[in-house]
Amino acid sequence: MRERLLVLLCALARRRRRRRGAAMAGTGSGTGGGGGGWDGPQRRAWLRHYYSQRQKRLMTLLIAHRRRTSCCFYPRAWPSLRSSDWWERVVLKEFGPQDWLEKFRMSKETFFYVCNQLRPGLAPHSAHFHPTLPLEKRVAVALWHLATNVGYQTLSPLFGVGPSTVQSCVREVSYAVVLLLKPLYLRLPSEKELENMVRIFRTRWGFPHCIGALDSLHIPIHPPLRLASDYCNGQGWHSILTQATVDGLGQFWDVSTAFPGSMENSAVLESSSLWVLAKEGRLCPNPPKHFMGKAQKYVLLGDATYPLQDWILKPYQEDENLTQRQLQFNYRLRRAHSVIENAFLRLKARWQILLKCDDCSLELLPTLVLACCILHNVCEAHDNPFNEEWLEGAEPTELPKPCQPAPAAMEDNGAEQVRELMCQYFESCGEG
């Protein structure tokens, strides 16, 4: 279009120069012969006005033509029949089990189970979606984004929706997952469930009287400039901090998130709901069960960044003065504690939005992280396969995990007796 316009303008300019030359010649002969033609200035003014108006009309016609045809090149995304056909015909009818697992991180049966559970929170009247966008498609858009961390601009033409609609799907589905699935899949265990968790930790990991492993996860973010120092962790990169507790199967049962990356694990623990539950005695039966002949609270397993408590155990500080049974205790604890390290790896590999939250606001981040933890539990509880290839890149080596030891002031002096009881237990059991 631009080339055609230039050609027309050049042709008009040449024609104008030829007519101007002819007009000048006619004016000279008329003046010399005393004819009745126009004088030179009057004719030049008329020609200038004529060609100016003609060029304006031509430009108006060209602009109008471009506006009439622009809809063919810049359509709105959501009415695209081609994308709708891809979702309805290809995804719903031709996707095989491996396709569902690769794109949505869950089986087709689990996907529609999640859709049915979220239906009350994603009714058409309660969300600002185009009326032709089905609930299943909204959930699919959100899960695809959470699983692959593909940007809104890239994902929008795939589903035939605009980038703002993709963002709305992610936000609304994440809120619905936390509202409707959290009471089912991420909650405080009952007393009977706590007993079952103790049994699993003893049989699977060889650690007695334990109900969970405790650790933290740093999620890289791009913080606002005014808050950059608050979110800069001990390793010099920006993150939000998530504290989580898992059972012996690697499923989350307590998550506190969105703490600034500059906070230490001990400070996060003291600010979390888990600390309140433990202090209120809600993490064990009342009275506590007996262990090694003494009434003892159930314990959680942490690392050196957590304070030693009568309900949190951590390894002995490594030095040459450790006894053989203290070394054995450290080995047993670290082996059992690896269940949460594996859970974090599977969480990030399955929902790769957690590898780097670039296009997510700080206000949405807590909901998004909780939604990923809940969906992780859904997939694990429904025995959905886990593809080991997803682990590639799930643990960036250029972003080492911050590790600040817990302050001595938070240590519980009486907790040393609990560690001693555990050492006696492992010594009586022998190597293993």
- What per-residue confidence (pLDDT) applies to 123? 74
The region of weakest confidence among 35-44, 74-83, 108-117 is 74-83
Instruction: Identify the band that residue 82 occupies on the pLDDT scale cut at 50, 70 and 90.
Output: very low
Please state, in angstroms and rounded to a whole number, the distance separating the CA atoms of residues 220 and 227: 14
Q: Provide mean pLDDT across the span 359-388.
A: 94
Please state, in angstroms and rounded to a whole number, the distance separating the CA atoms of residues 124 and 117: 15
Please state, in angstroms and rounded to a whole number, the distance separating the CA atoms of residues 278 and 321: 32
Under DSSP, is residue 284 helix (H, G, I), strand (E, B) or coil?
Answer: coil
Determine the length of the chain.
Answer: 432
243-275: pLDDT as tens digits: 999 999 999 999 999 899 999 999 999 999 999
- What per-residue confidence (pLDDT) applies to 246? 98
Please state, in angstroms and rounded to a whole number, the distance separating the CA atoms of residues 279 and 155: 46
pLDDT higher than threshold 90 for residue 86: no
Distance of CA 195 to the CA centre of its chain: 34
Q: Provide mean pLDDT across the span 387-412.
A: 74
The region of weakest confidence among 19-28, 231-240, 271-280, 301-310 is 19-28
How many Cβ atoms sit within 10 Å of the Cβ of residue 41? 9
How many Cβ atoms sit within 10 Å of the Cβ of residue 283? 22
Query: Measured between alpha carbons, how far apart are the two ends of the chain, in Å?
Result: 79
Regarding predicted confidence, which is higher, 81 or 56? Answer: 56
pLDDT higher than threshold 60 for residue 432: no
- What per-residue confidence (pLDDT) applies to 22? 57
Q: Provide mean pLDDT across the span 389-415.
A: 74
DSSP 402: P
Q: Provide mean pLDDT across the span 150-177.
A: 90
CA 51 vs CA 17, 54, 58, 250: distances in Å: 11, 5, 10, 80
Under DSSP, is residue 308 helix (H, G, I), strand (E, B) or coil?
Answer: coil
- What per-residue confidence (pLDDT) applies to 57? 60
pLDDT higher than threshold 60 for residue 343: yes
Q: Provide mean pLDDT across the span 37-64.
A: 60
Q: Provide mean pLDDT across the span 346-373.
A: 91
131-144: pLDDT as tens digits: 568 899 999 999 99
- What per-residue confidence (pLDDT) applies to 345? 95
* Average pLDDT value over all residues in the chain: 83
Contact present, 79 and 128 (Cβ < 8 Å): no
Contact present, 403 and 305 (Cβ < 8 Å): yes
Instruction: Identify the band that residue 79 occupies on the pLDDT scale cut at 50, 70 and 90.
Output: very low
- What per-residue confidence (pLDDT) applies to 360? 80
Q: Give residues with Cβ within 8 angstroms of 52, minimum separation 6.
A: none
Domain residues of the chain, as ranges? Answer: 48-73+82-185+362-384, 187-355+394-429
Full-model pTM: 0.78
